[in-house]
């Protein structure tokens, strides 16, 4: 019985509303999987809230799900790919769950993912500085 409860908790914790935060077991996916997930994001969260043309990214902020997603556009070196981030407050700090998937080349995706991890560290540092100042 305990095993069933633990399995259910793990399954629930990986879902964000109607979307799976971790929809695939591996970061390397097919173009069809990328498109299907993007379609699901549009159905759940609406059209992108921000298109950053110079970065060739479209960004979704699903406030009701507490997740931010960035999808690459045609012309981005990592296209097709996406990064999903979900901030979680933990005690006196913040943790940002981050996951990404790519259907193109891995090296440009790895660079994009690294940029988001660096952004996460800046956000966490800013959060800690703000909390320390109060």
- On whether the CB atoms of residues 70 and 59 are closer than 8 A, the answer is yes
pLDDT band at 53 (very low <50, low <70, confident <90, very high): very high
Q: May I ask the CATH architecture of the domain 28-128?
A: 2-Layer Sandwich (3.30)
Taking residues 21-28, what's their average pLDDT? 94
Q: Where are the beta strands (DSSP E) in 14-80?
A: 15-16, 19-20, 50-52, 57-62, 67-72
16 pLDDT more than 90 = no
Instruction: Give the pLDDT confidence score for residue 20 in this predicted structure.
Output: 87
Contacts of 31 (CB under 8 A, 6+ apart): 80, 103
Of the spans 6-10, 84-88, 112-116, which averages the highest pLDDT? Answer: 112-116
Check residue 10 and give its pLDDT: 37
The pLDDT score that the predictor gives to residue 24 is: 95
pLDDT of residue 18: 67
Which residues does 112 contact at the CB level (< 8 Å), separation at least 6? Answer: 72, 76, 77, 78, 81, 83, 100
Query: CA–CA separation, 44 vs 72, rounded Å?
Result: 18
Selected residue with higher pLDDT from 129 and 2: 129
pLDDT level of residue 86 (50, 70, 90 thresholds): very high
């Amino acid at each position: 019985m305990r095993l069933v409860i633990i399995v259910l908790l793990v399954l629930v914790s990986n879902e964000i509303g109607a979307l799976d935060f971790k929809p695939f077991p591996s970061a390397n996916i097919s173009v069809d999987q990328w498109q299907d997930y993007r379609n699901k994001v549009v159905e759940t969260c609406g059209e992108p809230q921000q298109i950053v043309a110079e970065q060739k990214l479209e960004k979704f902020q699903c406030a009701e799900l507490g997740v931010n997603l960035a999808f690459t556009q045609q012309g981005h070196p990592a296209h097709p790919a996406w990064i999903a981030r979900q901030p979680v407050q933990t005690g006196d700090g913040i943790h940002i769950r981050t996951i990404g998937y790519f259907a193109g080349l891995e090296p440009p995706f790895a660079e994009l993912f690294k940029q988001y991890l660096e952004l996460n560290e800046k956000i966490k540092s800013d959060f800690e500085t703000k909390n320390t100042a109060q």
